Amino acid sequence: MLILGIETATEQVSVAIGGHEGVLGMFEVCRGRRHAETLTPAIEFVCRQAEIELAEISVIAVDVGPGLFTGMRVGLAAGKAFAQALRVPMIGMSSLDLLAFPLRHSVRTVAAAIDARKGELFFAFYRPVQGG
């Protein structure tokens, strides 16, 4: 199973392809708010990097925020278009969950935060639970 991950909820555009073997291809760039013109070439680049055809993708995973409204719209629209064209499911992932995920085995509470602008933050706390 190959998953195409799309993250456009922040200033950065990130695209990755991975599966049971791990990450096969990844692209990240921060070009301000130029998500629409960056995303499709990024997906093409990652497919070449992973040496796969887009038709081999089994699932599209898209960051659903919180984050930049326009960036999220670009990612969700592209994800939905690819999912419909490939006839595969699309799933949404929280920006805060994605930030906290690398620390999922921490024995301490993890705080994830994203600048919401105008002096505000989007944040979440993740407490460890027995058994993961």
Same domain, 26 and 67: yes
- pLDDT (tens digit per residue) in 15-74: 999 999 999 999 999 977 789 999 999 999 999 999 999 999 999 999 999 998 999 999
Same domain, 85 and 108: no
Tell me the H-state helices in 20-111: 35-50, 69-86, 95-100
Residues 19 and 39 in one domain: yes
How buried is 98 (Cβ within 10 angstroms: 0-12 exposed, 13-18 middle, 19+ buried)? middle
Give the count of beta carbons closer than 10 Å to the beta carbon of residue 129.
6
Does residue 106 share a domain with residue 54?
Answer: no
> Rounded to two decimals, what is the model's pTM?
0.88
Domain residue limits at 128: 96-132
In the chain, the number of structural domains is: 2
Residue with tokens 């499911």: 89
State the first-to-last Cα distance of the chain, in angstroms, to the nearest integer: 24
